[in-house]
Structure 1
């Protein structure tokens, strides 16, 4: 048997793509941690723009609605399974039901997010302040607009529910900021 412990292992040179550029490597990735803004006025704003809000609320609403609807539809599909069905048929029923309900819920909640973002941006622009009242009024307006086609009574109830929900979310966010260290 040969003794391999005394053999010299080949040394490999580490790959360094910037070796010929005469740049100190520690300066290459020294990136700022704060956001870089074009105008100094942007630094005083602690809020997303209207287009960022539109994208954020619509996307989050669709995702939450699709997940919730998918779970609800999957449970309904599982319950609707009949005795004597094969496993493949039961899985197909669950997936179809979950996909159908998830799409429907996702679209509905995404539209709510879209309306909320637009109404909130409009109210913030008109009032020229950023506070909880904007969110409550936006929730009230969103509920009323969403159910306006069903009649005045339905729109008023939906508006009240939207206002209470937006107030609860805004209040919860303030409580979390104050009492939960992040």
Structure 2
């Protein structure tokens, strides 16, 4: 009784609990090394068993984003990448041209900004258009076949190259299609190496 009275919140006063009270002997760990809530007295491992996914997906839905969802980030990333690469090229070109013209001061800075903005905008537009065409072809082929695999990537990249240079003549058109196919093939070899090995073993 003395022990209970001396165990107040701030060291004094009356406290109905003591260290020998059985209701205070609540374990803080569970059998699976997971932390047990001292307030609700349950093991969180029973809510999400080991190996089960953390997120709930609708029945029949794909567990990863499809081509249509990825298209927005791909187009935006291509625009930003094109602007960055074009801007760097504009810095190099502007520095070289202004140095050759022996420009100095505000005139040189203005010319440098012109080179950076023009080449950055041009590169951003070009890469953005390529990414847009690739995404459109990829979504159409994926919806048409009902499957999202490496064949869709190869088809979309080849068609993008062919369409992008279709107005430059047959030779350049075929060359651009071959470049698109080659880049897509390298991408598939890097990202789907294990899957390609399984297909070859079959």
The aligned runs of 1:33-72 (5 Å cut-off) are 34-37=54-57, 39-42=58-61, 44-50=62-68, 52-72=69-89
Unaligned 5+ runs, structure 1: 1-23, 25-31, 177-182
- C-alpha distance in 2, partners of 1:117/1:48? 11
Given the superposition, is the C-alpha separation of residues 153 and 85 from structure 1 closer, same or farther in structure 2, using an over 3 Å criterion? closer
Shift of 1:115: 0.3
Superposition TM-score, scaled by structure 1 size: 0.69
Shift of 1:92: 2.3
Contact 2:87 2:116 in 1 (8 A): yes
- C-alpha distance in 1, partners of 2:67/2:74? 12
Contact 1:78 1:93 in 2 (8 A): no
Equivalent in 82, 85, 89 of residue 103 of structure 2: 85
Unaligned 5+ runs, structure 2: 1-38, 40-47, 195-202
Residue matched to 1:168: 186
Given the superposition, is the C-alpha separation of residues 129 and 80 from structure 1 closer, same or farther in structure 2, using an over 3 Å criterion? same
Residue matched to 2:25: none
- C-alpha distance in 2, partners of 1:35/1:155? 45
Deviations 1:71-102 (A, max 9, x none): 11111000011465333332222222011101
Given the superposition, is the C-alpha separation of residues 76 and 46 from structure 1 closer, same or farther in structure 2, using an over 3 Å criterion? same
Coordinate RMSD, CA, aligned: 2.5
Residue matched to 1:103: 121
Rg comparison, structure with higher value: 2
Given the superposition, is the C-alpha separation of residues 55 and 105 from structure 1 closer, same or farther in structure 2, using an over 3 Å criterion? same
